[in-house]
Amino acid sequence: MKKNKYFFFGTFIAMMIPHAAFAAIATFRDLIQQFILIMGNTMSLLFAFAFAGFFWGVFSFVLNGDDEKKRSEGKKWMMWSIIALFVMLTVWGIVGVLVNSFDIGTNVIPQLPHA
């Protein structure tokens, strides 16, 4: 488990290196924009992990119909993945409020395409 912690921390640091190299933070607006960019990249990765965890729970629940212990483990995976997705959507909403409050622009957070 200790190796996994270092692997995820190293992956997070490696994702943030380009942002630190090209930061050039001169104003408070630039600082907020860099924070939002970092949160956007982090949230994308965490969304992927949460969806993978949810589907792992679904498969564990469905494929182990006769083993109650594995079914309950699948239920836990699904429950915690849904909680994680809810928390991440909430953080995404807070980032949206920051973007609108500081008039940073909508190109720094993921948007759904308009029809």
With a cut of 90, say whether residue 42 has pLDDT above it.
no
Domain segments of the chain as ranges? 2-101
Size of the chain in residues: 115
Mean pLDDT, the chain, rounded, equals 77
Q: How confident is the model at residue 113 (pLDDT cuts 50, 70, 90)?
A: low
With a cut of 60, say whether residue 112 has pLDDT above it.
no
- pTM for the structure as a whole: 0.59
Of the candidates 73, 34, 33, 41, the residue with the CA atom closest to the CA atom of residue 56: 73
Give the 3-state secondary structure of residue 104.
Answer: coil
> Per residue in 4-33, pLDDT tens?
666 666 666 666 666 555 556 677 777 777
With a cut of 70, say whether residue 102 has pLDDT above it.
yes
